[in-house]
Amino acid sequence: MKYQGSCHCGNVAFEVEGEIQEALACNCSICQRKGSLLWFVPRSEFKLLSAESAASTYTFNQHAIQHRFCPTCGIHPYGEGSDPQGNAMAAINIRCLDDIDLDAIPVTHFDGRSL
């Protein structure tokens, strides 16, 4: 299934293809503050519809994940990084996807604070 998503103001827009089996709620210092529900997909299934320059990037700690956010409205719709095998991945904040029922998606809690 193809999903459309964006930040609040729409300056950062994207589409992503796949089936949402579950979302991940992480308690690391940034995810807990953002309240993201993350869905990980291969980077090839993610297509940025806005200009790359529309989103700013924040990294911290090991700088392994590029947390992408809109400098206008402040929303973090996605991040980019690699899985443990080195494959390029996108971490989609499903709260930024259009027309989904968040209550229908199982959420797994991840202890990112312990990393």
Mean per-residue pLDDT pooled into runs of 10, the chain (115 residues): 98 98 93 93 98 94 87 97 94 97 96 84
pLDDT at site 52 = 93
DSSP string over the chain: -EEEEE-SSSSSEEEEES----EEEE-SHHHHHHT--EEEEEGGGEEE-S-GGGSEEE--TT--SEEEE-TTT----EEEEE-TT--EEEEEEGGGBSS--GGGS-EEEE-GGG-
- What is the set of domains in the chain, with CATH numbers? 2-114 (2.170.150.70)
State the pTM of this model: 0.93
pLDDT at site 114 = 86
pLDDT at site 23 = 97
pLDDT at site 35 = 92
